[in-house]
Amino acid sequence: MKELLRFLIKYYYALLFILLESIGIVILVRNNTYQRTRFVNLAHTISGNFSKKIAVIKDYLTLHEENRQLIEENNRLYNLVKSSVSISYTDLQSEKESFQRLEYIYIPARVINNSTNKQFNYIILDKGREDGIEQDMAVVCSDGIVGVIKEVSEHFSSAISFLNRNLQISAKIKKSGHFGPLQWTGTGHQKARLKDIPHNISIELEDSIVTSGYSAIFPENYMIGRISDFSLKGGNYYEITVHLSTDFKNLRNVQVIKNLYREEQMDLEERTRND
């Protein structure tokens, strides 16, 4: 205790200076939009660089698992391309219909920081504004959905993880098409709850739950998980527990999805609501 007091007395002026400087910076950042933006970008850059170095070490130690995931992702994309080609040439009725409009662009990124043990979890990616990343883009992986981009700096970006109580997406039962809001339960890292599904709909355990496409963020039919439990709430609607297909404790390679028609769609929806 005496040593601590001697230290405080000896460095009193230096500690007081640091305290006052810190208070001044906090006040400046809170009351000045430009300074706050610069501070957030700087914090993203510093945190991103540090997390990237840690991620390099983790990647070296998990090369075998990474190779397995990349092989699975290549197989999924290969099958997807084959399916797309088959549809576009088999079902066309005219030469004009053979042209498929490009709606989404997929930007590969790597997870360099990730949390799963909080109520409001975030993910840091090694791609930013320079790579075409923007706010409100969807983030997915080979197993399913991951989250939505929240903040972007020049070389890094942060995403709201689906394991975040503030995030809710529109999901549907794949076999019937009936949809409702889906949200993380707040416990564990692989459970979510789907609501507002009418009681007269036939559902079974292990039914696939996918994205509904009723938003300008996630494309339709992207895998979310499977039904692990369900019960009637109030007699009219099911409350469905979904086992998420994404392993949030083992995220490495992800895809950020850019909807090329997002602004047009949102503008139309806004004008429709105003009318």
For the chain, the domains span 168-247
Only one residue has tokens 């640091």, namely 18
- DSSP code, position 132: T
Residues 6+ apart with CB under 8 A from 226: 205, 206, 207, 208, 209, 242, 243, 245
Q: Where are the alpha helices (DSSP H) in 62-191?
A: 63-90
Q: What's the pLDDT score for residue 157?
A: 96
**Fold assignment, 168-247:** Thrombin, subunit H (2.40.10)
Amino acid letter at 133? I
Closest CA to 158 of 134, 181, 175: 134
| pLDDT given at position 62 | 60
- The angle subtended at Cα 76 by Cα 75 and Cα 80, nearest 5°, is 115
Q: Are 193 and 82 in contact (CB under 8 A)?
A: no
Task: Kindly report, residue by residue over 50-83, the tens digit of the pLDDT.
Answer: 676 666 666 666 665 666 566 556 545 644 554 4
Name the one residue in this structure whose structure tokens are 């994309």: 77
Asked if 197 contacts 185 with a C-beta cutoff of 8 angstroms, the reply is no
Adjacent-strand bridge partners of 191: 243
**Which residues are CB-neighbours of 267 under 8 A, at least 6 positions away?**
none
The full DSSP string for 245-270 is SS-GGG--EEEEEEETTHHHHHHHHH
pLDDT for the residue numbered 73 = 65
Give Cα 233 to chain centroid, integer Å.
29
pTM of this structure: 0.68
d(CA 142, CA 114): 17
Distance of CA 20 to the CA centre of its chain: 38
Spatial contact of 170 and 212, defined as CB atoms under 8 Å apart = yes
CB atoms within 10 A of CB 218: 25
Q: Where are the beta strands (DSSP E) in the chain?
A: 104-114, 120-125, 138-140, 145-152, 157-164, 168-173, 179-184, 191-198, 208-211, 223-233, 237-244, 253-259
Q: Provide the residue-wise pLDDT of the chain in tens; the chain has 275 residues.
A: 667 667 666 666 676 667 767 776 666 656 666 555 665 666 667 666 667 666 666 666 666 566 656 655 654 564 455 444 433 334 444 444 444 567 888 888 999 999 999 999 999 999 999 999 999 999 999 899 999 999 999 999 999 999 999 999 999 999 999 999 999 999 989 999 999 999 888 999 999 999 999 988 999 999 999 999 999 887 789 999 999 999 999 998 999 999 888 888 888 888 888 87
